[in-house]
Chains A and B, each alone.
Chain A
Amino acid sequence: MTDNLLLIFGKWFFTVAPRGILNIGENYALWAWKFFSVGYFLPRIFSPWHRDITGYGRGFDLRRFLRVWGWNFFSRIIGAILRIVVMAAGLAVILFFSIATIIGFTLWLFLPVLVPALLVIGTFTLFL
């Protein structure tokens, strides 16, 4: 319950706000994880596309077996390809959000130093 405004600001700037930035970054990463169904696809990566599988029928016929196996395998491959593409896109977006969060977080912490430093450097470079 301190009444020192500068101290309140300092506390907020260096503790509350960085935690907030990390939280927001985490939220967006989780959004991407869920939107691109990364966790959802992982255990189902080779599941047939829309359960589109053909039965082997009664008795054994090698040609029929190979043909049906081929079709079912193809269905799984189609599913896997699409899922992998979406998961890859999701991971790329997660990576982007992670990097953006790290940059934002670092920038935030250095902002009080960075702003005066850039001002000083700029002024010196321009006028001196």
Chain B
Amino acid sequence: MRILHGSEIYLEQSGHARALRLERLLPRRSAGIIAFGSGVTVILGLILTLFFLTEKQIVYACLGLTLVALGIFLGVGVFWLFSGFLRLERPLSEGGLKQALQHEALGSSLTFAAASLLQSAAEGDSLYPSRFWLYVTKQERFVSIWKRLGINTGELREKASSAYPPAAVFSLLEILQTAWTKVLAAGRSTVDDVDILMALFTTDEILHQILFGFEVEEADFLAVALWELQREHDRTRRAKFWSRERLLDISGVGKDWSAGYTVNLDRLAVDITAGVEFKRPPEHLYGHRRQISQMERLLVRSSGGSNVVLVGEPGVGRHTFLRAFAARVRSGETLSPLRYRRVMQIDSSAVLGGTGNQSDILQKIVILLNEAVAAGNVILVINNIDAFLDPQPEVGRLNATEALLPYFQSSLRVVGITTKRGYQETIEKHPQLQEILSKLEIAEPTPAETLEILEDETPRVERRTGVWFTYLALEEIVSLSQRLIQNIPNPEKALELLQETAVYTATNVPSGVVGPEQVQRVVTLRTKIPVERVQGQEKEILLNLETVLHERVVGQEDAIRQIADALRRARAGISSGKRPIGSFLFLGPTGVGKTETAKALAAAYFGSENRMIRLDMSEYQGNEGVSRLIGEVGSGSGLLTEAVLAEPFSLILLDEVEKANPKVLDLFLQVLDDGRLTDAMGRTVSFTNTMIIATSNAGAELIREIMQGGRNPAEARESILDSLQRQGIFRPEFINRFDGVIIYQPLNEAVLTKIAGLLLRELNVRLKEREVSVKITPELTDAVARGGYSVEFGARPLRRYIQEHIENYVARGLISGDIKRGDLIEIPPNMV
């Protein structure tokens, strides 16, 4: 008897050793040849049997039958060998598992694939890296996983072969122990081939480094492996056409023969049950499966009306949810009173549109509802149900509550669809409606659920467009859509981005492989937000942000440096991600460059001055300030929240913040701390891609006094802030929320002269079209600086001063003809 060692013992324990040997003898690809031979034998046998039976030669007919039987037997052999019977997982019972753990029978939990890996890569007590990498870069399942991770298998093999020292080996015992521990922790009882690779993530630092080089983390590999296994499982399940699940997924004939005719509904409504027969709803209803059961229960309850209203924002999957429900109703996999009914949807636009007056519309609705009741097999879905129940109807809406109530209380089952706002404004205001229409909230899927939805959708998109998505691209879609597209919920925005990226890649990328870069490009094109990696021009801007800002803002080095530092942190990806990109309180007198800094920043970093949401806080002094900013139930949306939803990547400038109502400042405490705000409609608005700059003149006098005392106001910041707190202008918790409180200094003569020069150069740019220019001399700039400066308004009057004294002079000259094309206009300082 041969004594077994190491891996051989594990293989024997797995029960797959013989099957592995058999597969070596008869490779899986020979199955096709044998199956073909078997089929030919059966057909030949049948022909011979029939032929000899007609010739009444029973003996030869028997021979034909023998051939048929032989063919079947051959076929059975193939089926047995290759259908996976030998490969089937043999999960251990609880007792068996305990026993295996006690005896350290680590091989007993191995799947066929894991045993196959061990057979190829292990010998004795060791697993050989070279053989291991050869296996995992050639085996079909792993090749799919690497491809999804965007890794070229050839390159991976090459890197792996050079990464290990020649004598390197892994301890098989350690790997299997780690794999088993991980599997048990995940609540499973079998160790698959991917679990062995996962174990190596823990035990082998070199493997970690190799994959890290391809930007692949352990979690990514696990996620892709689980995705691949799920797809394999789905494929196998779908291939079993004889399974009960597949065969009974039908409605059958005559299920509506006992129901009444629905002539009008057929014309005005959409039969969702008929639709799902041709276009199946997604198989995995992440997060919604339990809610479907809940809806079914609500629809069959006997007291208080069997109606449900689905509340959720458009795009969260309300209609997909309904289609999944309709599929269950169609195939009878639901509660008995709902089986084989027709789920028919009417749209408010179809009913309310094209009809003149209210009584006509009401008549139309009543006809439809009567028909649905009379038919006896209709579950009526009313899309935008709030449009029929509006107590204060506008154009395209109606208050048909009284007409609809009897139907809601009848045997008819109604499913309404509405938004949170629609629910709040209609049903929630009517206690009786609230009672008979059970509310079922369809929540927005979490980012993790959205990723799973994308995993389901990706193969379909790939088939349509011929592109290939890497897993990192899907992660990027979820991440960027979550951060940068706020006015559409998940999964809609992620699915839209998936489609757009597929189309973009199909037309612009010859390889057809979609990575995170393509997703970033599409997001940039769509939102105009520079999400692509720090490169080229943007890299230059970030590195030289101080210089870029100083092109517009003269002086104020401290402020500019702090802002530039915050931006670099955010763009390099090391900011917290849960707060705004940066938040600053600019303190200083009027006209020293606070607002100009904000404008320069919006232009330099956010791409345009238009990306600035400017709020004059003196307009928010009253108690209604909060509702103006975040909206109020029943009276519309908020100015701030709507603006950020539309432009999530922007600079928010809060001018003269000290004038705002204290409640408004409390609102900003949350924004500065959490980076989000919930508006009156219950929508959470993220501020994580905004920069918040608040400006204030408070403390200007003190700053001036400090300057006059010969001290630097920036160094006396603490005493300025103390003074503001003592005066009750700002509370300490408000000031402390900012990333930086920047003290703007009053401008000195040198700075003013520079600003004057800057403004004069701006003027020359405008004059370029007329092909004339003003000669900028030190004397001129000095004169403009002296004339345009005001103690109260700083440099602000400079622009007007130039307009009055220089632009007017040039304009007069141009009109009178004294100034001609090509002239260099010299303005004597005494004229200014």
| Chain A residues engaging chain B, CB cutoff 8 angstroms | 1-5, 8-9, 12-13, 16-17, 23-24, 27-28, 30-31, 34-37, 40-41, 44, 47-52, 79, 82-83, 86, 107, 111, 114-115, 118-119, 121-122, 125-126
A16 to B253, CA, bound (A): 34
Is there a chain A Cβ closer than 8 Å to B18's Cβ?
yes
Instruction: Specify which chain B residues have a CB less than 8 angstroms from the CB of A13 in the assembled complex.
Output: 76, 80
Question: Which one of A5, A107, A114 lies within 8 Å of B22 (CB-CB)?
Answer: A5
Determine whether B254 belongs to the interface, using a CB cutoff of 8 Å to chain A. yes
Indicate if B151 sits at the interface (CB-CB under 8 A). no
Between A8, A34, A35, A125, the greatest number of chain B beta carbons within 10 A of the residue's beta carbon is seen for A34
* Chain A to chain B contacts (Cβ below 8 Å), 20 pairs: A3-B15, A12-B85, A27-B247, A27-B248, A28-B247, A30-B247, A31-B248, A34-B248, A35-B250, A35-B253, A37-B252, A37-B254, A37-B255, A47-B258, A51-B260, A111-B76, A115-B73, A118-B69, A119-B70, A126-B63
Question: How long is the Cα–Cα vector from A13 to B85 in the complex, in angstroms?
Answer: 11
User: Is the Cβ of A27 less than 8 Å from the Cβ of B63?
Assistant: no
B257 near A27: Cβ-Cβ < 8 Å: no
Q: Using A12-B85, A31-B250 as known contacts, say yes or no to A40 and B255 having CB atoms under 8 A apart.
A: yes
CB <8 Å contact, A27 and B90:
no
A111 touches B261 (CB 8 A): no
Which A-B residue pairs are the 4 nearest by beta carbons? Answer: A118-B66, A51-B260, A31-B247, A47-B258
Interface residue? B143 (CB, 8 A)? no
Kindly provide the distance from the CB of A91 to the nearest chain B CB, expressed in whole angstroms: 14
With a cutoff of 8 Å between Cβ atoms, the chain B residues found around residue A24 in the complex are 242
Mark interface residues in B1-37 (1 if CB within 8 Å of A CB, else 0): 0000000000011010110001000000000000000
Whether B258 and A5, one on each chain, are in contact in the complex, defined by CB atoms closer than 8 angstroms, is no
- Checking A1, A12, A30, A115 against B70 with a beta-carbon cut-off of 8 angstroms, the contacting residue is A115
Q: A1-B13, A35-B250, A79-B257 are in contact. List 5 more A-B contacts (CB 8 A).
A: A8-B86, A30-B248, A40-B254, A107-B72, A125-B63
Cβ of B794 within 8 Å of any chain A Cβ, yes or no, is no
CA distance A23 to B240 in the complex (A): 13
B589 sits at the interface (CB 8 A) = no
B223: Cβ under 8 A from any A Cβ: no
Whether A12 and B18, one on each chain, are in contact in the complex, defined by CB atoms closer than 8 angstroms, is no
- Give the most central of A13, A16, A37: most B CB within 10 Å: A37
CA distance A122 to B86 in the complex (A): 34
Q: Which of B69, B250, B253, B332 contacts A115 (CB 8 A)?
A: B69
Contact B252 A16 (CB under 8 A): no
Neighbouring B residues of A47 by C-beta, 8 Å = 257-258
Q: How far is the CA of A12 from the CA of B90 in the complex (A)?
A: 14
- Closest residue of chain B to A1 (Cβ to Cβ) is B15
A48 / chain B contacts, CB cutoff of 8 Å: 258
Distance, CA A37 to CA B70, complexed state (A): 39
Q: Are A122 and B257 in contact (CB under 8 A)?
A: no
- Chain B positions within 8 Å of A37 at CB level: 252-255
Nearest A residue to B66 via CB reads A118
Question: How far, in angstroms, from A77 to B235 measured CA to CA in the complex?
Answer: 47
Q: Which residues of A contact B15 (CB under 8 A)?
A: 1-3
Contact B59 A125 (CB under 8 A): yes
Is B290 in contact with chain A by the CB < 8 A criterion?
Answer: no
Q: Are A122 and B247 in contact (CB under 8 A)?
A: no
> What CA separation (Å) do A71 and B85 show in the bound complex?
61
Q: Which residues of B contact A17 (CB under 8 A)?
A: 76
Q: How many pairs of A and B residues are in contact by the CB < 8 Å rule?
A: 110
Per DSSP, chain A at the interface is helix
Q: How far is the CB of A64 from chain B (nearest CB, A)?
A: 22
B62 interface residue (CB < 8 Å to A): yes
Given that A40-B340, A50-B257 are contacting pairs, would A111 and B69 also be in contact in the complex, using a CB cutoff of 8 Å?
Answer: yes
- Select from chain A the residue with minimum beta-carbon distance to B70: A115
Chain A residues lying within 8 Å of B253, measured Cβ to Cβ, are 35-37, 86
Residues of chain B with a CB closer than 8 A to A27's CB: 242-244, 247-248
State the CA gap A53–B501 with chains docked (Å): 57
**B111 an interface residue at 8 Å Cβ cutoff?**
no
State whether the Cβ of B149 lies closer than 8 Å to any Cβ in chain A.
no
The docked-state distance in angstroms from the alpha carbon of A17 to that of B88 is: 14
Q: Please give, as numbers and ranges, the residues of chain A lying within 8 Å of B340 by CB-CB distance.
A: 40
B374 within 8 A of A: yes
Q: Is the CB of A114 within 8 A of B69?
A: yes
Residue of B63, B69, B90, B257 with highest tally of chain A CB at under 10 A: B257
B361 interfacial contact with A, CB 8 Å: no
A40 with B70, Cβ < 8 A, contacts A51-B259, A126-B59 known: no
Contact of B260 among A50, A118, A119 (CB under 8 A): A50
Which residue of A is nearest B22, CB measured? Answer: A5
Question: Quick check: is B116 within 8 A (CB to CB) of the other chain?
Answer: no
Is B65 on the interface with A (CB-CB < 8 A)? yes
Name the residue on B nearest A31 (C-beta).
B247
Q: Which of B316-330 contact A (CB under 8 A)?
A: none
Check if A122 sits within 8 Å of B73, measured CB to CB.
no
* Residues of chain A with a CB closer than 8 A to B73's CB: 111, 115
- Centre residue among A2, A8, A36, A52 by max chain B CB count within 10 A: A8
Q: How far is the CA of A1 from the CA of B11 in the complex (A)?
A: 11
Contacts of B85 in A (CB 8 A): 12, 16
A51 touches B258 (CB 8 A): yes
Q: B375 at the A/B interface (Cβ < 8 Å)? A: yes
Q: Which of B15, B22, B63 has the most CB of A within 10 A?
A: B63
B686 in contact (CB, < 8 A): no
Chain B min CB distance to A107 (Å): 8
Are A3 and B69 in contact, with the CB atoms below 8 A?
Answer: no
Asked if A125 and B62 make an inter-chain contact with CB atoms under 8 angstroms apart, the answer reads: yes
Is B39's beta carbon under 8 Å from chain A? no
